[in-house]
Amino acid sequence: MLRGSAAVVADKAMDPLLGFSVLAVAAFGAGVLNAIAGGGTFLTFPALVWTGVPPIAANATSALAVCPGYLGSALGFRPELAALPRALRLREVILSAIGGVAGALLLLVTPAKVFAGVVPWLLLFATLLFALGPRLAGWVGGSAGGGALARWRSTGLLAVAVYGGYFNGGLGILLMALYLLVGEQRMNTVNALKNLNSFVLSVVSVIAFAIGGAIVWQQALLMAVFATLGGFAGARLARRLPVAAVRAIVILTGLVMAGLFFARAG
């Protein structure tokens, strides 16, 4: 477990106002980005590290920081969520919670560097899946019945939730790729489900991180406020953007994130 690790914050000669501004801007931007395309963790995580938070604690703290932003985004898509069957929403929330807990526990007992080398490949793979989503969805839909698609959807969601509980980076892209792959073509519905399930799995993983003592609370609470504001603003923006624009933002974000993680791993 990482109990006590979050209490150790590097001593950096930094103007408190500058640190506050960096974290606030990063959190707001992460909320907007997560609502539209995913990838907000790549703003919050480096901002926390830059202001002196150790990497593992920064990962856990970032998860808490962006968590309320997912709620703000989900609230922005209430009509889309209300239009979905209640049984579907309940099943996916349960799967997201189970996966989120499993991923968080994995982070708490496994050195983060073991997974670090895999992260950029996952991001690149998810981005390619998203880019080819409509074509792949047509192929899958034509070769599998509704029951098979439902099983693929549930299994894929559980796997993505485990990833999201362990490392939040690229979670939105993975979820959007999954939903397009199993045949969900309504972009606003994809965004709504992405934000709802991201919020659920983030909540349960944050609880595990808190029990493990891996969160720096002062920074986390500050950033959570701004991420929530950004998430609500981003949801409103996403509903107004053309589908092609949203897809382009997602693909560009995924490619940039994958490239940055490859550079960091190298």
Note the pLDDT of residue 4.
46
Model confidence at 156, pLDDT cuts 50, 70, 90, reads: very high
238 contacts 188 by C-beta, under 8 angstroms: yes
Q: What does the pLDDT look like over 242-254, one tens digit per residue?
A: 867 877 877 887 7
Note the pLDDT of residue 128.
82
Note the pLDDT of residue 112.
64
Burial class (CB in 10 A: 0-12, 13-18, 19+), 154: middle
Residue 5 DSSP code: G
Helix (H, G, I), strand (E, B) or coil at 117: coil
pTM of the entire predicted model:
0.77
Average pLDDT of 62-66?
A: 90
Which has the higher per-residue pLDDT, 93 or 170? Answer: 93
Residue 101 DSSP code: H
Give yes or no for residue 125 having a pLDDT over 90.
Answer: no
Residue 183 DSSP code: T
Instruction: Give the Cα separation of 262 and 154 in Å (integer).
Output: 30
Domain ranges of the chain: 5-265
Average pLDDT of 227-250?
A: 80
Which secondary-structure segment (H or E) carries 149?
A: helix 146-166
What phi, psi does 28 have (nearest 5°)?
A: -65, -45
Which has the higher per-residue pLDDT, 39 or 44? Answer: 44
